[in-house]
Structure 1
Amino acid sequence: MTFRNPRGRVGYRSFIAFAAGLSFSAAAFAQGNDPVRIGLIYSKQGPGASIGQFLQRGSEIALEQAGNKVLGRPIEVTWLDEPNPQVSQQNMQKLVDENKVVAVVGGNYSSSALAMMSVANRAKIPLILPGAAASEITGKDCSRYTFRTQATVPVQIAGVMPYLSQIGKKVYFLTPSYAFGQDILRAARGRLKENGMTEAGVDEVPVNTADYSSYILKIRQAKPDAVLGGLVGGDFSNFLKQWNEMAMKDKIPYVAVAVTDTDFWDVGPQASAGIYVKPWYYNNPKNSDAEKKFTADFEKKYGRPPSDKAWSGWIAMRALLESINAAKSTDSKAIVTALENWKNTDGPLPFYFRTWDHQLVRPSVVVKVKSKITDKYDYFDVVKQTSDTAADTEKAFGDKQQIGCNMPPL
């Protein structure tokens, strides 16, 4: 695999893996052995940089576990940035036009993902989103060429609301001011009544907010029983630090969806607290053997366990490579069809992309920060999965009428 990281001050990092005994030569690029080009779009800067690094590392482990080949051919990967929707869309177009990729894995932010999807649909290039939880991605704005591994916001909210209602009845919302945060508000407000809860206040926070003191003061004055949030990356880390510094950590519980381990590793055990919904946790006893091997391979390579974002990058890339092999082709329509038929059977509950909305149907995990953290990476106790049976999982993700996805023929 050739790995290209086109960022000026970093330069190129290239490595090519071949079977033992073979040497690098022009023969490697003979007909039938041309590299298969795959694009990555993950954040390299700003509040999502740490998330982007773990997504990329997870994808890299999947490539290495596949022998850095697909269809018996070497893989060439180009990684571009996801700094904002406009540049993410431009980078998606660049991967298509200049790098001639057969597919793209990337998109952690819902706003960027929606922008990238328009290019994927227009260029007819498969796009697998390992993040981006806004409902419309596999709902009203669904695309035949886009797939998503992250559970939707309504699924995650449904999993955490029963715990929130046990904490108290008045909830304050603190959400990011873009599609993902607006989805949290819609989903949670829709479940307030059934859980006997009321709204104590709301703030929609701009991305890259550095000072949360004014928001925290408003929360303190509102005196809610709990805060429900959805801040992402560095924004969430900044909030947790200031929440602790203003002595709120042990006064008002904080609950959130779509968090990632690096948020907590960045702030440390002193500032970490709360109940959260995550796609995966490296120290979950119920992880499959393949997931345990992924964890072991990641720790061996990087000297630390994988975050849930690393898992998301791993499973998205793994699904793509397995689907290309199943299709026996790099033709985009063949890859899409293979992804629609892809199923992971590593664990007791198989998971898959639904054919009619391309949403990965798989339980998330509800976790709680340990009362005493003794390991520098193991911050959580797993409370439960958001669903325990295949039928309940499928039901949690909604039916066609609820989701509102109307895909055109391929």
Structure 2
Amino acid sequence: MNDNHGSTGTISRRTLLKAAGAAGVATLAYPPILTAQGDQPVKLGVDNPLTGTYAITGRNELHGMELAVEEINAKGGILGRPAKLIVEDSTSGDAGVAVQKARKLIDKDKVDFLVGNVNSGLTIAMSAVAYEKGVFMMDPGGHADPITGSECHWNVYQVDPSTTLLVNAIAPSLVNRFGKKFYFLVPDYAFGHGLLDAYKVNLQKLGASNLGADLIPLGTAEYSSYLIKAQAANPDVIVILQNGEDQTNVLKQAVQFGLDKRFHIAGANIELETLEALPPTARIGNWVIEWYWNQPDVPHVKEFTAAITKKTGRVPTARTWFGHTAIHACALAANTAKSLDAVKMARALDGLTLPPEVALQPHPATFRANQHLLIGTLWAGHAQTQGDAGADDLFKIDEVIESKTIAPTVEETGCKMTWPA
């Protein structure tokens, strides 16, 4: 599929079966499909960034989604019908555009599922539309706590870890290893605010201090004034919470200023896309990575990595995995419920553990009942110029964390889920 087009072309089941066989697509376990293959596709409406700060991460999520559709259709589709992506560019930061595209996908394209967004603020706006319309929605890559916390909805599921999970996975280690004085560079929207809030909770528990936090607009290219302020505060750790191109820019400039020689650089999550875009000297700092391709002892990861590499020429990133998992989870919801009714699908996925060939991680990955956040595995470690596994091995895993050991309770998340009668 061309990323610039609004939808994938319709492909016959015979063609997909041949392509799947040639590519060695992994066999996926789904509940039995009761109806015969139909002509009308099941539509998955993707409302995700293809332009702007998050274009690269959005496109990698799309590559994962495309592979998932190929695999699903090779196994008989969704309820015996072919799955089809209909793709809209939400932009990276315009909630109005994202909402407009969500309404278009639901009202005009009549999608069965709404999928998105990389940007947490856009995810929250889209989820309000999905809730209003009663449409099942899967969030592949927006992390903010409220999505499955204080603003949770019965019809919305979240694949990627929440901001609280990301920070809980790394903050204690940073305090123990590098010191108790922190300074924060924060993207000024829901994702950054959530990360900062989670850090504040952790610092208070650990007896550490917040020396200051700058709220920085999304899409900022020049960070010198913020880096000067961070340097003047003389912290033990400068915490960089940006993502996408913003994360790449601030890390490059931090190294140009020599801050990595005087302070420890860290954050919350790091993207492989960021590490690939950085010069080797700027691959620095301690982070959480949300999924990693170099897991030699985890079943099915090698096959997934090979399939994505054949498709894109690059190893999969966490974003590729997000997209792949999101679409498979939609198919599992429908095939388990034996229905495209949104309530029945949401009930079917509530508390469901993903099969290993979809989860692709060492610990079980389960959509937590009555909250709908996927609880699985996180990896804490540090950036590296290049590891033993080759040019794409840019992250060294120091600790594999089972997310349920660091997750707040459902009550603590603020989710009070109500279901339709």
- Structure 1 length-normalised TM: 0.90
Letter paired with 2:225: S
Aligned match of 2:29: none
> Partners in 1 of 2:191 and 2:47 — Cα distance?
18
For 1:56, which of 62, 73, 89 is the aligned residue?
62
Aligned match of 2:373: 359
**Residue 223 of structure 1, CA deviation:** 1.4
Output one character per residue of 1:290-332: Cα deviation in whole Å (capped at 9) or x when no partner: 2322111101111110111101111111111122122222222
Output one character per residue of 1:218-276: Cα deviation in whole Å (capped at 9) or x when no partner: 11111111112210101111111111222223322211123211011112322110111
**Residue 386 of structure 1, CA deviation:** 2.6
Aligned: 1:404 with 2:414? yes
> Partners in 2 of 1:269 and 1:338 — Cα distance?
46
The 1:348/1:264 distance shift into structure 2, 3 A limit, reads closer
Q: How does 1:75-154 map to 2 (within 5 A)?
A: 75-83=83-91, 84-154=94-164
Aligned match of 1:214: 225
The 1:348/1:253 distance shift into structure 2, 3 A limit, reads closer
The 1:70/1:268 distance shift into structure 2, 3 A limit, reads farther
Q: How does 1:30-45 map to 2 (within 5 A)?
A: 32-45=38-51
Output one character per residue of 1:185-219: Cα deviation in whole Å (capped at 9) or x when no partner: 21111121332321222111100101001011111
> Partners in 2 of 1:143 and 1:34 — Cα distance?
29
> Partners in 2 of 1:109 and 1:205 — Cα distance?
15
> Partners in 2 of 1:158 and 1:194 — Cα distance?
11
Q: How does 1:24-35 map to 2 (within 5 A)?
A: 32-35=38-41
Quick one: percent identity of the two aligned structures? 30
> Partners in 2 of 1:255 and 1:292 — Cα distance?
29
> Partners in 2 of 1:31 and 1:305 — Cα distance?
33
Aligned: 1:385 with 2:400? yes
Aligned match of 1:298: 308
Aligned match of 1:271: 282
For 1:74, which of 60, 64, 82 is the aligned residue?
82
Q: When the two structures are aligned, how many residues end up with a matched partner?
A: 393
Aligned match of 1:257: 268
User: Which 5+ residue runs of structure 1 have no aligned equivalent?
Assistant: 24-29, 388-392
SS at match of 1:349: coil
Q: How does 1:170-249 map to 2 (within 5 A)?
A: 170-249=181-260
The 1:202/1:125 distance shift into structure 2, 3 A limit, reads same
> Partners in 1 of 2:348 and 2:216 — Cα distance?
40
> Partners in 1 of 2:241 and 2:115 — Cα distance?
23
User: What stretches of structure 1 move > 6 A for 4+ residues in a row?
Assistant: none
RMSD between aligned residues: 2.2
Contact 2:238/2:266 (CA < 8 Å) preserved in 1? Answer: yes
- Structure 2 length-normalised TM: 0.88
> Partners in 2 of 1:115 and 1:336 — Cα distance?
19
> Partners in 1 of 2:64 and 2:279 — Cα distance?
23
SS at match of 2:86: strand
Aligned: 1:319 with 2:326? no
